[in-house]
Amino acid sequence: MPYAFCFLLFVIGLYCAVVKKNMVKIVIGIMVMEYAVNLFLIMLGYRFGGVAPVVDREFLDAETQQVTAGFLNSAVDPLPQALVLTAIVISLGSLALMISICIRTYGKYGTFDITEIRRLKG
């Protein structure tokens, strides 16, 4: 079910990016798509009953293994978290670029409507 939520978020963002005529709404749709993918990657990192990749169960003694069993069974893979953290930083840079393009376009044409901007061609 949570994966369906990620897919729903992605479809909503895709709808905004493809159908809407306002440049700011298109940017918001692209950002919703990016965060839907980030949420999906974070959910893929969780493994029920999994072991953190930095801990090897074979080298733990019995007492330590009992104490850390709760942690080891609920630990998540840190690689998707690191990838998503990097993706968030990159998406912040792309958001700044898209918003600056929107501001410059509004300053030149006086509108955010892409159909109006196409008609002006100047």
Could you report the per-residue pLDDT of 107-122, keeping only the tens digit for each? 998 999 998 888 777 5
Would the pLDDT of 106 be above 90? Answer: yes
> Average pLDDT of the chain?
83
Contact by Cβ (8 Å): 113, 22:
yes
Contact by Cβ (8 Å): 17, 36:
no
pLDDT score at 122 = 57
Of residues 117 and 99, the one with the higher pLDDT is 99
Tell me the per-residue pLDDT of 27-62, one tens digit each, with 9 for 90 and over.
999 999 999 999 998 888 776 655 555 555 565 565
Check if CATH label 1.10.287.3510 holds for domain 2-120: yes
> Residue 37: which of 67, 64, 17, 7 has the closest Cα?
7
CA–CA–CA angle 81, 87, 89 (5° rounding): 110
Residues in the chain: 122
- Once rounded to an integer, what is the mean pLDDT over residues 99-106? 95
Q: Where are the domains of the chain?
A: 2-120
0.85 surpassed by pTM: no
Would the pLDDT of 94 be above 80? Answer: yes
Rounded CA-CA distance 12/29 in Å is 7
